[in-house]
Structure 1
Amino acid sequence: MTENGIVETGKNHVFSSGRSSTRYFKDGYFDYNFEKFLGLATYSGAEIAECFETAARITDGDPESWIQAWTSTARRVEAYAENAMKGGHKVSAREAWLRATTYYQAAFFFTLHKDPRKAELYQKHTSCFQSAGKLFDPPYEPLAIPYKGKSLFGYFLRCDDKPRPTVLIQMGADGSSEQIYFSGGGAAALRRGYNALIFEGPGQTGTFMRDQSLNYRHDWEVPVKAVVDYALTRPEVDPKRIALIAYSMGGYFGPRAVAFEKRIAACIASGLVPSMKALAGKRIEDIKKAASIGKFPHPARWALYEHMPKYGFNNGIDDLEKLEAVWDTFNLYGLEDKITCPLLVVQAAAEGEEQTRIAKEFFDKLPNPHNKFRLTTEEDAAEMHCQKGNAMLLHAIEFDWLDDVLA
């Protein structure tokens, strides 16, 4: 807290506190997210110079300038894709649409739930990705996975028509299926001969944007069962080699799902979240302090007005105690003997010693001898949350392990 009483949750953000951070923005939450989107260049999801040119037009810590700058870049790159396609230049069009996908998501990210621009930016984000997906061989398939009379959003990416090992990939609280293609292993899976079924469960971005009655639930095995049921209808999926990869808040969702869904042969979590309350740490108290003086830094506004509706709460600070009660149910303790499939945990050091300690203590109670705990550090240039900025290393760790345990 500063001398004037403002809680600065955007400063020195834990996710961007390591050496591999760009340090482009003084605002830590801006810097982490800039690093996140810049890192998608690894799989053609961004261009480095385009990202830095955009950043130069952003006022540090001002979400509105962030939204406007990324929207402008996205529109320009999308227009290039459309013109390239009209001229029959399919590779150029595909590459530009992939980059526009990311730039629209960057704008979408800091646009709050009730902002009328939110839906338009999200629609642009997905339409650019789907335009690019049509130009791959085989094409990427958008999915509406049957779920309790409704549907979960996602994509199926296949190498060919042969039965192959398949990774089910999900994000956590604030990504998208399209982002996961770049950062979460979708493109990396195809390079290694795996199919990828990328999905978003209830409360997650793509599913929530399509049906806001579908909120987060603690019993994540229910939506994952629907995803596995769908996967097993695909002749391209080897039913004995299905793995689940889950990121961020997915570090709770993934292990929870495999405690009950035994058709999954292996699970990867980046990183492990035994308790949602433990993951939140002191952030709830920071938000309460901000409320007491009537000033919310943008990370607090994001948590209240963007994240909480996905739990079914829409009244911001007034629902904070209800959210804490819900988080009590997002808890892996007591399930240790049920998480029996091989589990790889890739934990990021910049999340802090306390988070690493909690994750490792829980991990050490799990029974499978093929389990592995990998801490990524500054020396790896992969210390940031979900190894942002070093996707190549992350995917090498993940898929090399999967090659061994699924062999």
Structure 2
Amino acid sequence: MNALAPAETLWRAMTPTRMLDCGMDYADILELQTLTGAGIAWDVAAEELGDRQRARARAAAEAGRVVTAEEAYLAATACYLFAQMAYNFDGPRKRELYTRLTDAFEAAGASRNPRWEHVGIPFAGGRLFGWLIRPPSPVTGTVVVFGGQSGWGPAYVRQAEALNRRGLAALLAEGPGQGESRLEGGVLLDVDVRAAYSAFVDHVLARGGLGPVGLWGNSNGGLFAGTTAASDRRVAAVCVNGGPARPRLLDFRTYAEQAAAMLGTTDTDAIRRNFDRIALKPEDRIDCPVLVLHGGRDPIVAEADQKPFLDAATHDDTTLRIWDDGEHTIYNHATERTAYVADWFADRLARRD
């Protein structure tokens, strides 16, 4: 069940544009192409690149070069992120690589002021995990950022830093079936997903001085963002980036295996029923500002798949932004996309009473 897919399959799922968006160094991407082309297993090659970056980080830290160390730890984090993505199902190897990812990310944020905070929230008999990343300046609001079937938490550090530069904090959340929340917290996608993401909102508001709260969901995370905003009136603004309102089991090996791992079953009927359970409902209404992003060349999510979020919006401030040549979640315009969304949240959260 946990066999490694062929390199060409993994390259389709983890494109260079996606790697750049998640903070991988371009030289590491090229080296990964060389190594996997030579027949080295994907996870071994990516792990080796991460280990090199981590060694560079430690040497820089010992020499007192804090900024260089932080940059290298982030580069290592990205390498480990894509190393563990080689395994869709859980097992010792995926857990080992995810631990390396988490440790490198924690080391990257150790020198920040304020230090990046590893958050654990009790939920459904387990724990939800995330990273609270705050700017040094006063906080005008917080955006909870999350992914869908793969690439969680630290994958969105560039979005967090863009939000920080605009005075917003970011909580990089790993929800049900995602990252540490699944691997260590034991929370799968069979729980009340809306309540789970509301638990992240609870955490932010309970801290004081971090609200109001927005949600930024990417890929299937866009579904989680939209449905949570429909259920939780405390959400002040929501961005859906490449998310289907009514998910379905796609005919891609990677997608199907990831969906199975998130739910904890390979029963396709059970996965389909769960997708129906967590979908946006016809009666759902979203009462806060809504931003929907779509890539015209997205092979996974069509514009029509996202239209129900716009139909559910009752607020006058509702926007659809399309990149005609955009890939899934707009990987190939990542810098522009991130700036656009961060500006959008800064405007909405700063003016919120």
The aligned length equals 346
Are residues 1:123 and 2:75 paired? no
State yes or no: 1:390 paired with 2:333: yes
State the partner residue of 2:180.
Answer: 206
1:36 CA drift (Å)? 4.3
Listed as ranges, the matches of 1:6-405 within 5 Å are 27=8, 30-40=11-21, 45-59=23-37, 65-160=41-136, 162-182=138-158, 185-212=159-186, 214-217=187-190, 219-238=192-211, 241-277=212-248, 280-281=249-250, 283=251, 300=253, 302-313=254-265, 316=266, 319-336=267-284, 338-352=285-299, 355-360=302-307, 363-378=310-325, 383-405=326-348
Distance (whole Å) between structure 1 residues aligned to residue 340 and residue 296 of structure 2: 16
Change in Cα spacing, 1:33 to 1:137, as seen in structure 2 (3 Å) is same
1:274 CA drift (Å) = 1.3
% same residue: 26
* Distance (whole Å) between structure 2 residues aligned to residue 305 and residue 352 of structure 1: 18
Query: Any idea what the Cα deviations from partners look like across 1:79-117, whole Å, max 9, x if unmatched?
Result: 111122222222221111110000011111012425432
Secondary structure at 2:118 match in 1: strand
SS at match of 2:14: helix
**CA shift at 1:46, angstroms?**
2.6
**CA deviation profile, 1:278-321 (whole Å, cap 9, x unmatched):** xx44x1xxxxxxxxxxxxxxx51x445444132021xx3xx112
Q: Which amino acid aligns with 2:30?
A: F
Per the alignment, in what secondary structure is the counterpart of residue 231 of structure 2?
A: coil
Contact 1:37 1:106 in 2 (8 A): no
Q: CA deviation at 1:155?
A: 0.9
Whether the 8 Å CA contact 1:218–1:329 is kept in 2: the answer is: no
Please say which of residues 50-59 and 247-256 is displaced more in the overlay: 50-59
Show structure 2 runs of 5+ residues with no match. none
What letter is aligned with 2:215? L
- Report which of the two structures shows the higher radius of gyration computed on alpha carbons: 1
Deviations 1:169-228 (A, max 9, x none): 11111112011113xx2111111111111111121112101133x111474221122111
Query: Aligned equivalents of 2:287 and 2:246: distance in 1?
Result: 19
Q: For residues 145 and 118 of structure 1, do their structure 2 counterparts lie closer, same or farther at Cα, with a shift above 3 Å needed?
A: same
| Higher relative contact order (Cα pairs below 8 Å, separated by 6+ residues) | 1
TM-score, structure 1 normalization: 0.78
Unpaired runs of 5+ residues, structure 1, are 1-9, 12-24, 284-298
Question: 198-207 or 358-367: which moved more?
Answer: 358-367
Q: CA deviation at 1:235?
A: 2.9
Cα contact 1:55–1:69 (8 A) shared by 2: no
TM-score normalised according to structure 2 size: 0.90
Residue 92 and residue 244 in structure 1: after superposition, are their counterparts in 2 closer, same or farther (change >3 A)?
Answer: same
Q: Say whether the 8 Å CA contact 1:160–1:236 is kept in structure 2.
A: no
Say whether the 8 Å CA contact 2:10–2:86 is kept in structure 1: no
Q: Cα gap change, 1:218/1:273 in structure 2, threshold over 3 Å: closer, same or farther?
A: farther
Aligned partners of 1:270 and 1:347 also within 8 Å:
yes
Aligned mates of 1:128, 1:353 — CA distance in 2: 31
Distance apart, 1:398 and its partner CA: 0.9
